[in-house]
Amino acid sequence: MKKSKHFIAVIVLIGIATGVLYIIFSLMFRLPVAASAEAGPIDILFNVHYWIISFLFALIMVIMLYSAAVFRRQPGDDTDGPHVHGHTGLEVGWTILPTLAVVGMGIWAAVILNDVTSPKPNEALIRVEAGQWFWRFHYPEQEDVTSAELVLPVNRPVLLEMEANDVLHSFWVPEFRVKQDLVPGQVTTLRFTPTLVGEYKVRCAEICGTGHAQMLANVLVVSDADFVAWVEEATQQVEFAELEPVERGQVWYAEFACNSCHSVDGTPTVGPTWQDLYGSEELLADGATVVVDDEYITHSILEPNDQIVSGFNPNIMPQNFGELFAQREEEVLASQGVEVDIIEELIAFIQALPADELEDLNE
């Protein structure tokens, strides 16, 4: 076969292999739905990388395999191969082309990064607080509503100002394609514009202890009207005078984020579930057993490190709930003239579980 024919054969094979590899890549590393404005340019970058990687792999493998197969030693041929001594043009080429490619991709990525992180008009400011192991979202522009779910109006640029309470965490919603660490003692920011109404999850992308894998929160991208309705509901004052102790307990359960560590439906999390808890017998880490009654629950809230249930870890539950509850009780008394007893009402709530009998209260 003539030299030029080998050349054409190799080029055609490289073309085919590049296409096949690209298809395999895009099937293997398929990204979730793109739900933010930033996802567009970032996905294009991803795609170009897939093409380049496919081409480079094909280039090397096809030339190597083709040479090994087509120019293999013939039977009876014991001569040495021809001695080749470098090729200046080739060496200059394979230095300059990759340099241009890498620098070019770098510049392109820097332009996109600058675009994605630059301030946008009419940004909605939301403060993100993260700790072991919860996410909490504060809306300073909406009467400081605090929420365990991140609710966002669709197509409005968002600015997150984020702080960690204890160790490094990382805010990551794969559908938005952006990610940012939270650093104790620093405020880090993240910008994006959600463009697709739907339900997503923010997950922590920085190993932060035993509860890391469960450090999830719902992200709801909603229409403008739904967002206004949500804010209205969230800013409504709870009228404690109108609530039964059980209902108050349910309010506290959400307000003090007990729900981030204690499920009410038996789901295992970093703390014991509250389902069927009251009256049950618990084995403690030190081998003793206790019956879950008012006294035990009260003690567990005020001194959470004292009687750890077997299979759970100490130093996870905050130790200042006594203080926080007293403050809140004073506040309710001052603003509504109602005497609430948060621990007593939480116990009433726990006693009333399993939750399916309480589902109406959630509405």
Which residues make up the interface to ligand CUA (CB under 6 A)?
Answer: 133, 169, 204, 206-208, 212, 215
First-to-final CA distance of the chain: 79
CB-wise, 261 or 352, nearer to ligand CUA?
261
Q: Copy the structure tokens of residue 245.
A: 């102790």
- How many Å apart are CA 298 and CA 347, to the nearest integer? 8
What is the distance between the alpha carbons of residues 223 and 197, in angstroms, rounded to a whole number? 7
Q: Least distance from C-beta 202 to ligand CUA, angstroms?
A: 10
| 127 phi, psi to nearest 5 deg | -95, 135
What would you report as the CA-atom Rg of the chain, rounded to the nearest whole angstrom? Answer: 30
Closest distance of CB 131 from ligand CUA, Å: 8
d(CA 345, CA 129): 27
When the beta carbons of 37 and 270 are compared against ligand CUA, the nearer one is 270
Taking the complex as a whole, the smallest distance from the CB of residue 312 to ligand CUA amounts, in Å, to 18
For residues 248 and 202, what is the distance between their CA atoms, to the nearest angstrom?
29
**CB of 126 or CB of 162, closer to ligand CUA:** 162
> What are the distances in angstroms from CA 316 to CA 112, 126, 289, 325?
40, 26, 21, 18
**Cβ distance to ligand CUA smaller for residue 123 or 163:** 163
Spatial separation of the C-alpha atoms in residues 137 and 257, rounded to whole Å? 12
Residue 218: CB minimum distance to ligand CUA, A: 16
Residue 333 token pair: 């008394």
Of 37 and 208, the one with the shorter C-beta distance to ligand CUA is 208
Give me the least distance between CB of 134 and ligand CUA, in Å please.
9
Residue with Cβ nearer ligand CUA (317 or 350)? 317
Contacts 24+ apart (CB under 8 A), 7-10: 9/66, 10/62, 10/63, 10/66
Q: Which is nearer to ligand CUA, 210 or 280 (by Cβ)? A: 210
Interatomic CA distance for residues 284 and 282, integer angstroms: 6
- Least Å distance between CB 168 and ligand CUA? 8
Choose between 215 and 297: whose C-beta lies nearer to ligand CUA. 215
Burial of 192 (0-12, 13-18, 19+ CB in 10 A): buried
Q: What is the spatial distance between Cα 47 and Cα 29, in angstroms, rounded to a whole number?
A: 11
Tokens of 43: 């996905």
Residue whose token pair is 């469960």: 214
Angle at 90 between CA 87 and CA 96, to 5 degrees: 140
What's the min distance (Å) between Cβ of 133 and ligand CUA? 6
Task: Name which of 208 and 342 has its Cβ closer to ligand CUA.
Answer: 208
For the CB of residue 26, give the shortest distance to ligand CUA in the complex, in Å. Answer: 29
Q: How far is the CB of 166 from ligand CUA (least distance, A)?
A: 9
